[in-house]
C-alpha cells in the first residue's frame, strides 16, 4: 500500500482525524498542542496520527492535502485546516458542532 493510499484510508476510516506532531497527551509542538487542546475540549473521540513517527506521511500529506503545515484536522474526509483555523472554529463554537455531528453518524 502506498503512503497516499494509507493517508486516504486513515482519512476515510475516521470521522475526526488530526495529523499532529506527537500524541494528544504529549504534543511535540505548540501548534499541535493548541489544536489538540481545542479538539479535546469538544469532548468527542477522535483519531490522531503522529507525523514524527510516520516520516512518509509527514512528507506526502502536505502534497496530497495541498496544505503545507501541521497539524491538519480532517472531519468527515474534508480538510478543516491547521492550528489557527481550529482555534477560530473552537472560539466561535463551530468546532464543537462540527465534531459532534461527525461523530454522531
Max Cα distance, the chain (Å): 39
The verdict on whether residue 84 carries a ligand-binding annotation is yes
Alpha carbons within 13 A on the beta-carbon side of 78: 5
The total number of residues shown for the chain amounts to 105
The verdict on whether residue 70 carries a ligand-binding annotation is yes
The verdict on whether residue 34 carries a ligand-binding annotation is no
Phi-psi region of 19 (alpha: psi -120 to 50; beta: other; left: phi over 0): beta
Cβ atoms of residues 39 and 100 within 8 Å: no
The verdict on whether residue 83 carries a ligand-binding annotation is yes
Binding residue ranges? 21, 29, 58, 70, 83-84
Binding residue ranges for [2Fe-2S] cluster? 29
Binding residue ranges for glutathione? 21, 58, 70, 83-84
Amino acid at each position: 500500500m502506498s503512503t497516499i493510499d494509507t493517508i486516504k484510508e486513515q482519512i476515510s476510516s475516521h470521522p475526526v482525524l488530526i495529523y499532529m506532531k506527537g500524541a494528544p497527551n504529549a504534543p511535540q509542538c505548540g501548534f499541535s498542542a493548541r489544536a489538540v487542546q481545542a479538539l479535546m475540549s469538544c469532548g468527542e473521540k477522535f483519531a490522531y496520527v503522529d507525523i514524527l513517527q510516520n516520516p512518509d506521511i509527514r512528507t506526502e500529506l502536505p502534497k496530497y492535502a495541498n496544505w503545507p503545515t501541521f497539524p491538519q484536522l480532517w472531519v468527515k474526509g474534508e480538510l478543516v485546516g491547521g492550528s489557527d483555523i481550529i482555534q477560530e472554529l473552537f472560539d466561535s463554537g463551530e468546532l464543537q458542532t462540527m465534531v459532534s455531528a461527525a461523530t454522531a453518524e
